[in-house]
Chain A
Amino acid sequence: MISKELDRAGLPVALITAMYPVAEQVGASRIVKAVAIPHPCGDPNLPAELDAKLRREIVLTALKALQANVATTTVFAPEGRSRS
């Protein structure tokens, strides 16, 4: 909901969420796949260094999404993530 209002105001927004099908249905424009609901930006099952690397990748993907021309709801997947 919030992200759609930002789009309406002309502010590109990258929505980082693990529940991307819900975001898609509601109509958010730029969606970045997060890891899981209780830890969207990272994975506590990984050693600290890899967890931080993953987080950087997710945020970087979000920045890339902000620079992407999208006509409609688009989902971006951070690199190096296995199926999630």
Chain B
Amino acid sequence: MIRVVHVLNQFFAGIGGEEKADIAVAVAAGAVGAARGLQAQLREGEQVVATVYSGDNYFHAHRDEALNAILSAVREHDADVVVAGPAFNAGRYGLACVEICQFLSERLGLRCVTAMERENPGVAVYRDYHNEKVFLLPTTESAAGMTRALAAIAPLAARLARSEAIGPASREGYVPRGLRKLVRAERSGAERAVDMLLAKVEGKPFSTEIAMEVWDKVEPAAALSDAAAARIAVICTGGVVPWGNPDGFKTYRNTFWRKYNFAELRALEPGKWEAVHGGYNISFMNRNPHYGMPLDALRALEAEGRIGPGKLYPAYYVIPGNQGSPSVMRRVGQEIGADLKKNGVDGVLLVAT
């Protein structure tokens, strides 16, 4: 028998509305509230063995307790799969569903299904988790779409419970987790390309295989009021390092950063530094390392008073940036940021190639 545990909030469990949003985690045997609808969509041999619910406010105010209580209940009832939601446009509930699924999949290795409308704030959190074990199905905005939502959730939950492999998002209908997998297609890329081009020319529908990326936005840091009064540091992603590459940077896909001291130096002497990078012609940089780490210009500006005396941080940071994976570079950026702050740096020059 397939054992399903359905996790709901106070409203969909049939307990009450906003006035019951503070109730702690409770467990009912079998299907109660909206879980009855899920049971109706499941087939012979597939059973909602328990309904677990808590108040929306309670969950967020007592997150760890709530998660652990839900975990116990799921474990006790020996679930093969967990369903959380559908949350439709309810933001607190949607976020809770995603967190619950994430937690259960991590702790129990269980695959989980949740569902909510595409604009629910839970969706962004779900995407960022990139968790192969959690599936989010899109729903209508309001609970008027409940039956339809449960009709989509039930078969997916059953397949997950049976350890079936689930295909790509476009085919299966779930919201993608941002995981791109290398797989085989039915025809060669060249044949697919010709077909796609002719479809485009003929005005027929086609599906691109690579969608445009949307980069996250960041608030610019506040400006320095006076650069001459600020501590300035330099980061070099062109890969200028002491000759011999003492820290063993690769020419591509680096994962760590280092600092190199230049306190006594007024300039970088060619022959004592080299560029380690696979993505450009390094001969210019090797003949004149200042192209990547402009120490001569920085010293000149120091002499002019544009950079305050002693304000040039006496070491520069390096990570050769070629083929740097964005997720690695994010982490490196956070680490370097922490180090810069620790050393009282106020503003940064990042020389990139």
Instruction: Answer whether A and B touch in the complex at a CB cut-off of 8 Å.
Output: yes
Range class of the B interface residue count: 35 or more
Range class of the A interface residue count: 35 or more
- Closest B residue by C-beta to A5: B333
Interface 0/1 of A28-61, CB less than 8 Å to B: 0110001001111110100000011001101110
A6 and B220 in contact (CB under 8 A), knowing A41-B291, A56-B297, A62-B349? no
Which residues of chain A come closer than 8 Å to B349, judged between CB atoms?
Answer: 13-14, 16, 59, 62-63, 66
Instruction: Judge whether B46 is part of the interface by a CB distance below 8 angstroms.
Output: no
Instruction: Judge whether B180 is part of the interface by a CB distance below 8 angstroms.
Output: no
Report the separation of the CA atoms of residues A18 and B332 in the bound assembly, to the nearest whole angstrom. Answer: 22
- Dominant secondary structure of chain A at its interface with chain B: mixed
Report the separation of the CA atoms of residues A18 and B280 in the bound assembly, to the nearest whole angstrom. Answer: 12
Which residues of chain A come closer than 8 Å to B324, judged between CB atoms?
Answer: 1
Report the separation of the CA atoms of residues A37 and B31 in the bound assembly, to the nearest whole angstrom. Answer: 63
The reply to whether B326 and A40 form a contact with Cβ atoms under 8 Å apart is: no
Most chain-A Cβ atoms within 10 A of its Cβ — which of B217, B220, B237, B300?
B220
| CB-CB contacts below 8 Å: A5-33 with B | 5-19, 23, 25-27, 29-30
Q: Would you give the shortest CB distance from B295 to chain A, in whole angstroms?
A: 10
Instruction: Judge whether B298 is part of the interface by a CB distance below 8 angstroms.
Output: yes
Which one of B224, B284, B288, B340 lies within 8 Å of A66 (CB-CB)? B224
Instruction: Judge whether B346 is part of the interface by a CB distance below 8 angstroms.
Output: yes
The reply to whether A60 and B237 form a contact with Cβ atoms under 8 Å apart is: no
Which one of B216, B283, B290, B350 lies within 8 Å of A15 (CB-CB)? B350
Q: Would you give the shortest CB distance from B132 to chain A, in whole angstroms?
A: 24
Instruction: Judge whether B196 is part of the interface by a CB distance below 8 angstroms.
Output: no
A4 and B218 in contact (CB under 8 A), knowing A13-B350, A67-B223? yes
Report the 6 A-B pairs with minimum CB-CB distance, sorted nearest first.
A5-B333, A29-B220, A1-B329, A9-B337, A2-B333, A39-B291
